[in-house]
């Protein structure tokens, strides 16, 4: 719906121009999009998998007008200092995750015959079941987190990803409790306070 509205808006704006072509999408203007449909899908509250997919740009009537350019080189393999074994491991993982995204791996029976999206995760990507899951994942990803001196690159090269903000807060609280030294919490801001003095169009300063 968003892209259809954008298409109509641009056509309307350009309709008074001399070189306007009503048959071209977006009034003939080039629109560049980037992303991965395996990772970026529209948010459909309480929607089924089919509803989410149908809400994607690929289901739009505008999609056939787009030219798709795909990446062909794994940039992680161009990192300096990688050994042959490390490159082989990266290549193997990249191929596996790509096959999962393409729906080419489905080796577990599903309770729903119409849903064949269950896959087996390789054992080397799993952590043993634990009664302290947060402690286990933190000690696995950051084995030296309790060190007095931690190299910034050590932190940049690692990350714990989760789907819920509540879990993020739990992990952050746990790490802050075990970390040594003075602690600081930096908060992000997505709105502005009303100024004591009048400012014209204050609402335009943020989305």
Residue 90 resides in a domain: yes
- Identify whether residues 141 and 179 lie together within a single domain: yes
Domain boundary among 125, 143, 168: 125
- The number of domains in the chain is 3
Flag whether 44 is in a domain: yes
Structure tokens at 190: 């997505």
Tokens of 125: 């990507």
The strand ranges marked E within the chain are none
- 42: phi then psi, degrees, rounded to nearest 5: -65, 150
Residue 105 lies in a domain: yes
Non-local (6+) Cβ contacts of 55 within 8 A are 41, 42, 44, 47
Residues 120 and 135 in one domain: no
CA angle 139, 173, 151 (to 5 degrees): 50
Domain that includes residue 60, residue range: 2-65
**Percent helix, strand, coil in the chain (nearest 5)?**
40, 0, 60
Half-sphere exposure of 2 (CA within 13 A, CB side): 6
Residues 56 and 9 in one domain: yes
User: Are residues 120 and 132 located together in one domain of the fold?
Assistant: no
Please tell me whether residues 75 and 119 are part of one structural domain.
yes
Is there a domain that residue 204 lies in? no
Tell me: do 18 and 60 sit in the same domain: yes
- Which pTM does this prediction carry? 0.56
Per residue of the chain (207 residues), what is the pLDDT tens digit? Answer: 678 888 888 888 888 877 777 778 888 888 888 877 766 667 778 878 778 777 777 788 888 888 988 888 888 888 888 899 989 989 999 888 888 877 787 666 656 655 556 788 888 888 888 889 999 999 899 887 776 566 778 888 889 989 888 999 999 999 888 877 777 778 777 776 666 556 565 555 555
Judge contact between 41 and 27, C-beta under 8 A.
no
- What's the burial of 93, exposed, middle or buried (CB within 10 Å: 0-12/13-18/19+)? middle
In a domain, residue 201? The reply is: no
Token readout for 64 is: 């056939």
Q: Is residue 199 part of a domain?
A: no
Provide the 10 A C-beta neighbour count for residue 25: 19
């Amino acid at each position: 719906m968003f892209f259809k509205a954008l298409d109509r808006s641009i056509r309307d704006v350009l309709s008074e121009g001399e070189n306007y072509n009503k048959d071209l999408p977006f009034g003939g203007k080039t629109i560049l999009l980037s992303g991965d449909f395996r990772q970026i899908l529209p948010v459909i509250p309480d929607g089924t998998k089919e509803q989410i997919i149908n809400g994607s740009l690929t289901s739009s009537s505008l999609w056939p007008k787009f030219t798709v350019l795909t990446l062909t080189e794994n940039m992680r393999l161009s990192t300096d200092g990688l050994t042959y074994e490390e490159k082989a491991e990266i290549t193997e993982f990249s191929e596996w995750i790509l096959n999962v995204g393409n729906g080419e791996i489905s080796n577990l029976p599903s309770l729903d015959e119409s849903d064949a999206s269950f896959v087996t995760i390789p054992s080397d990507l799993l952590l043993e079941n634990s009664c302290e899951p947060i402690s286990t994942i933190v000690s696995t990803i950051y084995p030296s987190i309790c060190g007095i001196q931690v190299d910034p690159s050590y932190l940049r090269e690692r990350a714990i990803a989760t789907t819920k903000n509540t879990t993020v807060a739990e992990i952050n609280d746990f790490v802050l409790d075990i970390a040594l030294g003075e602690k600081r919490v930096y908060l992000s801001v997505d709105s502005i306070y009303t100024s004591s003095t009048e400012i014209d169009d204050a609402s335009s300063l943020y989305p």
